[in-house]
């Protein structure tokens, strides 16, 4: 991808709240989570992926992109980026999430990883079907 | 750089004097001249890749094939491209230089060529290799690129789907002039020799390279000594060079440091290693790139052993990211400067080529020289001597002897070498930009040429220096086509391809249904 900063932000917000949300809604009933707070846990996770992404990670990734001659962001980076992002979301959730039972690391990882993968696969191609101009506009939708 | 069948310039011999001298034609004038007039809302001139993607967009934007004519000397759009590829040693099984999502048969770039190759594979390795490559490209490996065969086959299929073939009007277009009352006349000499005038609201020019240009010292050599056998251009057929080297061995000088030079070296070294011949290659650089280069830490391109490395002929983000914005937003000299910083001669850093040249350097059959050529003269029997300009004028110039010289510098001729473009500059109000090419708007309308409510657009290499860097690339031609298509939608000529139309049309593409 060859995003601009605003393109990164728009693409992230759009994908987290479409593909990411859809996948989360489908997956949540099958995760081992405290029954009363299932959706609270997964949806809060999703929201923090968006918030930390916009304010912490995208500025960092965009800064690193400046050191690349082509001003591109290779697919593998987009995939690997998930690792530090997941760690930070988990740290934040540990502090602020007030759920009726514990959320295992495995459960969190499963939710995070599969959601990330769904978004990753969507962005590699299907995204361009509804948004023909998206790839020529640095990832901006609007 | 045009196929031999398309170089014959009939000129304006057939154009009646009155028409020749009038910059704006009236219907009466044309009727009086006896030219048969054909009314057609949209005309694209060229019929190469640029025309094809334009027609593809228009069909998807709801324009019937019957409202479009493609004026061309080619019966299929990749004809000229394939000819240039073949001369520069890229056959249908070889990989070209654009990415997986620069799909000429699919305006969305999805599914890309890599995933299609992967799903067509018959082995697990064949399935995984393209996917792994696109995943790790430009980090662990060079970009994945399709074979030209795959590109052409898929274009054939798309051509059938959108009924491209029915838009063809074979012949050579000579002039496009403005029409009094709006729109344009484009005069075409048909294959049967008859001249006809297409009267259209919209004209789209995608005529490709205006012609082939040679290095001045090689032109001088060819002129003075009449030898076109030992000094050849990489973009014209030169199979005899390889045949003779394969038979007798010898020395060959390659000039240029772009992808074509890489392809030529690939062919020379493959032949040599396969046949065990005694061939020495002298690679002559005009400027030798020693390492990473660029004006700042944030603008540094890789390079080594004389080459500047880059996946494609422009940095990736010039097609849709930060560099695209930068070029789009700058004007005049600032833009020219940007384009010079981002542009330049480059080649992809392919592993196969790295290894070949490494073997060549080690075994001594591939040698590098740097310098400016003073002149090229004949030597002994079957030998050409290349004299290099010495740094110090009192020293004798260095002389390089070889049996052949291959010019792979890829110089382009001036746009005025093309009859129609020259006429455009003279009669239609078109101007040159700072790089000497046609000055176009961001939506590719030719500046100064408007004949309300008509529009004249130009795309491809003739517009280099405008608001888009990679105009002469698959993706650049598609971006240009989209810009033109959007502009035409604003005029009400076609539908705007918004979210809904985009999805339904993609679905039709996937099912192979007509748009
Ligand atoms: C060797 C080589 C390799 C390239 N590889 C790549 C690559 O891998 N990836 C990439 O993105 N780009 C590549 N390009 C650049 C570019 O994409 C191609 O050159 C492409 O063919 C340009 O399309 P076009 O429509 O502008 O010109 P063309 O495809 O050349 O089409 C123009 C056509 O117009 C015809 N014509 C001209 N004047 C008239 C007239 N007056 N009347 C009727 N017909 C006329 C010509 O005969 C020609 O067939 C390559 C270029 C070259 C030279």
Confidence label for B153 from pLDDT (cuts 50, 70 and 90) = very high
Q: By 3-state DSSP, what share of chain A in percent is helix, strand and coil, each rounded to 5?
A: 75, 0, 25
Residue B21: strand pairing partners: none
- Across the interface, whether the CB atoms of B315 and A125 are under 8 A apart is answered no
CA distance B77 to chain A (A): 24
Q: What is the mean pLDDT of residues B495-500?
A: 98
| Pair B282, B369: CB distance under 8 Å | yes
| HSE of B157, CA atoms in CB hemisphere, 13 A | 15
Q: What is the mean pLDDT of chain B?
A: 94
pLDDT for residue B480: 98
Could you tell me if the CB of B420 is within 6 A of ligand 1? yes
pLDDT at residue B285 tops 80: yes
Query: In angstroms, what is the C-alpha Rg of chain B?
Result: 24
| Pair B207, B460: CB distance under 8 Å | yes
- Across the interface, whether the CB atoms of B101 and A135 are under 8 A apart is answered yes
Mutate to test the interface with A, among B289, B317, B483 (most CBs of A within 10 A): B317
Query: In angstroms, what is the C-alpha Rg of chain A?
Result: 16
Beta-carbon neighbour count of residue B218 at 10 Å? Answer: 22
Three-state secondary structure call for residue B158: helix
pLDDT for residue A102: 83
Tally the residues of chain B.
515
pLDDT for residue B465: 96
Angle formed by the axes of helices B148-162 and B49-60, nearest 10°: 40
Confidence label for B5 from pLDDT (cuts 50, 70 and 90) = very low
pLDDT for residue B13: 53
Q: What is the mean pLDDT of residues B375-382?
A: 93
| Pair B323, A71: CB distance under 8 Å | yes
- CA–CA dist B462, B205 (Å, integer): 9
B344/A contact by beta carbon, under 8 A:
no
| Phi and psi torsions of B284, nearest 5° | -105, 115
Residue B198: strand pairing partners: B38, B186
Q: By 3-state DSSP, what share of chain B in percent is helix, strand and coil, each rounded to 5?
A: 40, 25, 40
Confidence label for B14 from pLDDT (cuts 50, 70 and 90) = low
Confidence label for B374 from pLDDT (cuts 50, 70 and 90) = very high
Sort out which chain A residues have CB atoms less than 8 A from B115's CB and list them.
Answer: 125
How do residues A76-131 score in pLDDT, each as one tens digit? 999 999 999 999 999 999 999 887 788 899 999 999 999 999 999 999 999 999 99
pLDDT for residue A103: 87
- Give, in degrees to the nearest 5, the angle at Cα A43 between A42 and A49: 95
From residue B311, give the alpha-carbon distance in Å to each of B63, B307, B357, B494. 36, 12, 18, 35
Query: In sequence order, what DSSP letters do the residues of B177-191 get, joined into one string?
Result: EEETTSSEEEEEEET
| H or E element at residue B17 | helix B17-21
How do residues B310-358 score in pLDDT, each as one tens digit? 999 999 999 999 999 999 999 999 999 999 999 999 999 999 999 999 9
Strands B373-378 and B384-388: antiparallel
Could you tell me if the CB of B49 is within 6 A of ligand 1? yes
B108/A contact by beta carbon, under 8 A:
yes
- CA–CA dist B112, B223 (Å, integer): 47
| Pair B51, B226: CB distance under 8 Å | no
| Phi and psi torsions of A26, nearest 5° | -70, -40
Q: What kind of fold does domain B12-96+148-211+413-511 have according to CATH? A: FAD/NAD(P)-binding domain (3.50.50)
pLDDT for residue B395: 86
3-state secondary structure B206-230: CCCCCCECCCHHHHHHHHHHCCCCC
Three-state secondary structure call for residue B70: strand
pLDDT at residue B450 tops 90: yes
Domain layout of chain A by residue ranges: 5-137
| Pair B256, B408: CB distance under 8 Å | yes
A59/B contact by beta carbon, under 8 A:
no
Q: Which two tokens stand for residue B332?
A: 């005049």
How do residues A18-75 score in pLDDT, each as one tens digit? 999 999 999 999 999 988 889 999 999 999 999 999 999 999 999 999 999 999 999 9
pLDDT for residue B459: 98
**Which percentage of chain B shows pLDDT scores above 70?**
97
pTM (two decimals): 0.94
How do residues B173-212 score in pLDDT, each as one tens digit? 999 999 999 999 999 999 898 999 999 999 999 999 998 8
Q: Which residue of A has its CA nearest to B501?
A: A130
pLDDT at residue B29 tops 60: yes
A94/B contact by beta carbon, under 8 A:
no
Of B111, B302, B321, the CB nearest to A2: B321
Domain with CATH 3.50.50.60 in chain B: 12-96+148-211+413-511, 216-290+347-407
A140/B contact by beta carbon, under 8 A:
no
How do residues B49-73 score in pLDDT, each as one tens digit? 999 999 999 999 999 999 999 999 9
From residue A82, give the alpha-carbon distance in Å to each of A11, A66, A85, A86, B73. 15, 20, 5, 6, 52
CA distance A131 to chain B (A): 6
Domain B216-290+347-407 has CATH 3.40.800.10: no
Instruction: Give me the residues of B, 348-407, that contact A with CB < 8 A.
Output: none
A73 burial via Cβ count (<10 Å: 0-12, 13-18, 19+): buried
| HSE of A130, CA atoms in CB hemisphere, 13 A | 10
Q: Which two tokens stand for residue B170?
A: 């074979």
Beta-carbon neighbour count of residue B11 at 10 Å? Answer: 9
pLDDT at residue B271 tops 70: yes
| Pair B464, B434: CB distance under 8 Å | no
| H or E element at residue B340 | helix B332-342
pLDDT at residue B8 tops 70: no
- CA–CA dist B515, B505 (Å, integer): 6
Confidence label for B6 from pLDDT (cuts 50, 70 and 90) = very low
- CA–CA dist B341, A61 (Å, integer): 24
Is the bond into A80 cis (omega within 30 degrees of 0)? Answer: no
Kindly give, in sequence order, each residue whose CB lies less than 8 Å from that of residue B295, ignoring residues fewer than 6 positions away: B341
CA distance B397 to chain A (A): 38
Q: Which two tokens stand for residue B149?
A: 């065969």
Q: Taking the mean position of all CA atoms in its chain, how far away is CA B302?
A: 24
Q: What is the mean pLDDT of residues B465-480?
A: 97
Q: What is the mean pLDDT of residues B35-46?
A: 97
Dihedral (CA of A53, A54, A59, A65) sign: positive
Whose Cα sits closest to atom 29 in ligand 1?
B48
Beta-carbon neighbour count of residue B318 at 10 Å? Answer: 29
Q: Which atom of ligand 1 approaches the CA of B462 most closely? A: 26
pLDDT for residue A101: 80
pLDDT for residue B410: 82
Q: Which two tokens stand for residue A62?
A: 């965009």
B413 burial via Cβ count (<10 Å: 0-12, 13-18, 19+): middle
| Phi and psi torsions of B323, nearest 5° | -70, -30
Q: Which two tokens stand for residue B482?
A: 């989209």
Tally the residues of chain A.
142
- CA–CA dist B374, B390 (Å, integer): 9
pLDDT for residue B278: 96
């Amino acid at each position: 991808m060859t995003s601009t900063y605003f393109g990164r932000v728009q693409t992230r917000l759009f994908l987290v709240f479409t593909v990411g949300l859809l996948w989360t809604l489908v997956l949540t009933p099958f995760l081992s989570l405290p029954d009363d707070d299932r959706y609270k846990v997964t949806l809060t996770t999703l929201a923090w992926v968006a918030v930390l992404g916009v304010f912490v990670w995208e500025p960092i990734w965009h800064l690193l992109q400046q050191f690349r001659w082509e001003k591109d962001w290779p697919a593998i980076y987009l995939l690997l980026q998930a690792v530090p992002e997941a760690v930070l979301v988990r740290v934040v959730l540990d502090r602020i999430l007030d759920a009726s039972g514990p959320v295992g690391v495995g459960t969190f990882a499963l939710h995070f990883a599969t959601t990330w993968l769904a978004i990753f696969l969507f962005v590699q191609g299907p995204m361009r079907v509804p948004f023909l101009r998206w790839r020529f506009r640095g990832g901006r939708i609007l | 750089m045009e196929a031999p069948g398309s170089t014959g310039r009939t000129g304006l011999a057939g154009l009646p004097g009155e028409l020749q001298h009038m910059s704006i034609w009236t219907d009466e004038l044309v009727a009086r001249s006896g030219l048969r007039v054909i009314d057609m809302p949209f005309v694209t001139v060229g019929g190469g890749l640029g025309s094809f993607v334009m027609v593809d967009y228009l069909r998807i934007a709801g324009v019937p094939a019957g409202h479009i004519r493609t004026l061309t000397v080619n019966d299929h759009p990749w004809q000229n491209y394939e000819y240039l590829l073949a001369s520069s040693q890229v056959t249908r099984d070889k990989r070209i230089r654009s990415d997986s999502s620069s799909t000429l048969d699919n305006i969305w770039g999805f599914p890309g060529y890599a995933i299609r190759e992967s799903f067509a594979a018959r082995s697990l390795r064949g399935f995984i290799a393209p996917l792994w490559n696109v995943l790790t490209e430009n980090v662990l490996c060079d970009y994945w690129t399709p074979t030209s065969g795959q590109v052409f086959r898929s274009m054939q299929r798309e051509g059938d789907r959108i009924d491209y073939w029915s838009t063809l009007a074979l012949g050579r277009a000579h002039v496009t002039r403005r029409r009094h009352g709006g729109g344009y006349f484009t005069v075409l000499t048909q294959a049967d020799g008859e001249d006809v005038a297409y009267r259209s609201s919209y004209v789209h020019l995608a005529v490709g390279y205006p012609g082939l240009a040679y290095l001045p010292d090689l032109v001088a050599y060819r002129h003075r000594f009449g030898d076109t056998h030992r000094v050849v251009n990489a973009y014209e057929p030169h199979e005899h060079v390889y045949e003779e080297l394969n038979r007798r061995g010898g020395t060959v000088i390659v000039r240029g440091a772009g992808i074509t030079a890489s392809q030529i070296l690939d062919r020379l070294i493959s032949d040599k290693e396969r046949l065990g011949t005694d061939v020495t290659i002298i690679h002559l650089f005009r400027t030798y790139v020693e390492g990473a280069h660029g004006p700042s830490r944030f603008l540094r391109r890789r390079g080594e052993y004389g080459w500047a490395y880059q996946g494609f002929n422009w940095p990736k983000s010039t097609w849709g990211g930060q560099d695209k914005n930068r070029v789009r937003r700058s004007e005049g000299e600032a833009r020219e400067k940007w384009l010079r910083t981002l542009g330049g001669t480059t080649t992809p850093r392919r592993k196969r080529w790295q290894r070949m040249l490494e073997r060549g350097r080690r075994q001594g059959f591939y040698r590098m020289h740097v310098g400016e050529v003073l002149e090229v003269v004949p030597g002994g029997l079957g030998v050409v001597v290349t004299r290099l300009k010495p740094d110090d004028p009192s020293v004798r110039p260095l002389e390089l002897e070889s049996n052949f010289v291959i010019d792979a510098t890829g110089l382009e001729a001036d746009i005025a070498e093309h009859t129609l473009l020259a006429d455009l500059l003279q009669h239609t109000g078109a101007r040159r930009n700072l790089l000497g090419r046609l000055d176009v708007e961001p939506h590719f309308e030719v500046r100064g040429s408007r004949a309300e409510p008509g529009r004249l657009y130009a795309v491809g290499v003739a517009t280099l220096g405008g608001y888009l860097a990679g105009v002469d690339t698959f993706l650049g031609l598609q971006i240009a086509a989209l810009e033109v298509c959007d502009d035409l939608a604003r005029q009400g000529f076609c539908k705007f391809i918004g979210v809904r139309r985009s999805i339904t049309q993609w679905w039709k593409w996937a099912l192979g249904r007509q748009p």
